[in-house]
Amino acid sequence: MNKKFLKNIIFLLFINLLIKPFWILGIDVAVQNLVGDKSYGLYLAVSQFAYLFYILLDLGLTNFNNRNIAQNNQLLSKHFVGISQAKIFLTIIYFIVIFAIGWLIGYRGEQLKLLAIVGLNQVLLSLILYVRSNISALLLFKTDSMLSVLDRVLMIIICSFMLWSGFFPKENFNVYTYIYAQTVSYLITLIIAVTIVLRHTGKLTIRINIPFVIMIIKKSLPYALLVLLMSFYNRLEPVLIERLLPEDIAASQAGVYAKAWRLFDAGNNISYLFSVILLPLFAAIIKEREDLQGLVKQSFGIMLSMTCIIAVLCIFYSRNFMDIMYPEQNNEEASTILRILMGSFVAISITYIFGTLLTANGNLRQLNIVAACGVVINIVLNCTFIPHYQAVGAAFTSLCVQFTTCVIQFFIAKKIFNLRLGTRFWLRLGAFLILITLTAYLSTHLCTNLWVSFAIAAAICIFIAFLTKMLEYKEIKELVMSSAKNLKK
Nearest to 258 by CA among 326, 183, 184: 326
In a domain, 475, yes or no: no
The whole-number average pLDDT for the span 109-120 is 92
Residue 68 has pLDDT above 70, yes or no: no
Spatial contact of 62 and 129, defined as CB atoms under 8 Å apart: yes
In a domain, 479, yes or no: no
DSSP state of 105: T
How many other β-carbons are positioned within 10 Å of the β-carbon of residue 296? 23
What is the count of structural domains for the chain?
1
Q: Which residue pairs from 127-131 have beta carbons closer than 8 angstroms and sit at least 24 positions apart in sequence?
A: 127/87, 127/190, 128/186, 128/189, 128/190, 128/193, 129/58, 129/62, 130/58, 130/61, 130/62, 130/65, 130/83, 130/87, 131/190, 131/193, 131/194, 131/197
The whole-number average pLDDT for the span 311-340 is 90
Q: Could you tell me the residue range of the domain that residue 305 belongs to? A: 2-421
In a domain, 468, yes or no: no
Please give the Cα distance from 465 to 429 (Å, whole number). 9
Spatial contact of 59 and 224, defined as CB atoms under 8 Å apart: yes
Q: Which residue pairs from 370-373 have beta carbons closer than 8 angstroms and sit at least 24 positions apart in sequence?
A: 370/405, 370/408, 370/409, 370/412, 371/225, 371/226, 371/229, 371/230, 371/233, 371/405, 372/229, 373/404, 373/405, 373/408
Per the confidence metrics, is the pTM higher than 0.85?
Answer: no
DSSP state of 171: G
Residue 18 has pLDDT above 90, yes or no: no
DSSP code string of 301-330: HHHHHHHHHHHHHHHHTHHHHHHHHSTTS-
In a domain, 428, yes or no: no
How far from 24 is each of 152, 258, 295, CA to CA, in Å? Answer: 10, 12, 31
In a domain, 456, yes or no: no
In a domain, 481, yes or no: no
pLDDT in tens, 398-456: 999 999 999 999 999 999 988 888 888 899 999 999 999 999 999 988 777 888 899 99
CA 356 to chain centre: 13
Looking at residue 72, what is its pLDDT? 61
| Cα Rg of the chain, angstroms | 22
Looking at residue 383, what is its pLDDT? 93
Looking at residue 226, what is its pLDDT? 77
In a domain, 319, yes or no: yes
Looking at residue 158, what is its pLDDT? 92
Spatial contact of 283 and 360, defined as CB atoms under 8 Å apart: yes
In a domain, 161, yes or no: yes
Please give the Cα distance from 62 to 232 (Å, whole number). 18
- Which class for 18: exposed (0-12), middle (13-18), buried (19 or more C-beta within 10 A)? exposed
Nearest to 257 by CA among 396, 451, 140, 78: 396
How far from 273 is each of 15, 129, 191, CA to CA, in Å? Answer: 12, 12, 21
Residue 350 has pLDDT above 60, yes or no: yes
Tell me what percent of the residues of the chain surpass a pLDDT of 70.
85
Out of 66-80, 140-154, 246-260, 431-445, which region has the weakest mean confidence (pLDDT)? Answer: 66-80
Looking at residue 84, what is its pLDDT? 76
CA 129 to chain centre: 12
DSSP code string of 468-489: TTSS-HHHHHHHHHHHHHHHH-
Looking at residue 482, what is its pLDDT? 38
Looking at residue 412, what is its pLDDT? 93
pLDDT in tens, 190-239: 999 888 878 776 655 556 667 766 776 677 677 777 777 877 877 889 88
